[in-house]
């Protein structure tokens, strides 16, 4: 029986899974990119375009713990700077466009934390962005509705809400700084 792109991608990522390496990130990136380039005719993808869920879990690996989510975002939806704790993440745009900015975390001599924006990348359909542990980024939906896939090394809800490892930033007096925990 023929598999769809989702099943093929998950099987391929699972087969190469191991400790964080350049090869693991690149291999995973290529397989998640395949989801962004999949035909809208595939049943699972047609359902996402039809239902337009704000968030839907597509797969949770029982052995390795990685998670694949789909998000449909409206034009103008902004997610302020944040990291993903100890996790690495891959974003893929299937439709629409998303602007993703990256930041460097600077600690002043007095201990105050502030962010400096490095760059902004416009991510179009079929394109992906990978962020490693500690990388700080934001997202802005430029053209929606946008369908994005978010592949994470681990369950980010647990990473954020239970382990409190995700850093979120707020803007104070035009400067991004560490938010209150």
Q: Which residues of the chain have pLDDT under 70?
A: 1-2, 158-164, 180-181
Contact 17, 64 (CB under 8 A): yes
Give me the domain span that covers residue 36.
5-178
Q: Where are the alpha helices (DSSP H) in the chain?
A: 5-16, 22-36, 43-51, 156-157
Nearest to 20 by CA among 130, 118, 162: 130
Bridge partners, 128 (sequence order): 92
How many domains, in total, are found in the chain?
1
Which residues lie closer than 8 Å to 38 by C-beta, 6 or more apart?
Answer: 4, 5, 6, 45, 94
Which residues lie closer than 8 Å to 143 by C-beta, 6 or more apart?
Answer: 75, 96, 97
CATH of the domain at 55: 2.60.120.10
Q: Give residue-wise pLDDT tens across range 114-152.
A: 999 999 999 999 999 999 999 999 999 999 999 999 999
pLDDT score recorded for residue 173:
85
């Amino acid at each position: 029986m023929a598999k769809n792109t989702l099943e093929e991608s998950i099987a391929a990522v699972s087969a190469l899974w191991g400790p964080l390496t350049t090869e693991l990130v690149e291999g995973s990136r290529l397989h998640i990119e395949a989801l962004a380039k999949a035909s809208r005719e595939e049943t699972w993808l047609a359902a996402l375009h039809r239902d337009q869920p704000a968030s839907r879990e597509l797969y949770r690996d029982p052995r390795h713990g990685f998670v694949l989510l789909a998000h449909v975002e409206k034009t103008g939806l902004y997610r302020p700077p944040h990291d993903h704790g100890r996790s690495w993440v891959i974003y893929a745009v299937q439709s629409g466009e998303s602007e993703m900015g990256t930041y460097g975390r600077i600690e002043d001599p007095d201990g105050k934390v502030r962010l400096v924006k490095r760059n902004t990348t416009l991510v179009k359909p079929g394109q992906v962005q990978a962020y490693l542990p500690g990388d700080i980024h934001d997202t802005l939906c430029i053209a929606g509705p946008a369908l994005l896939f978010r592949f994470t090394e681990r369950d980010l809800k647990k990473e954020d809400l239970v382990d409190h490892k995700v850093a979120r930033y707020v803007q104070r007096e035009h400067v991004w700084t560490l938010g209150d925990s």
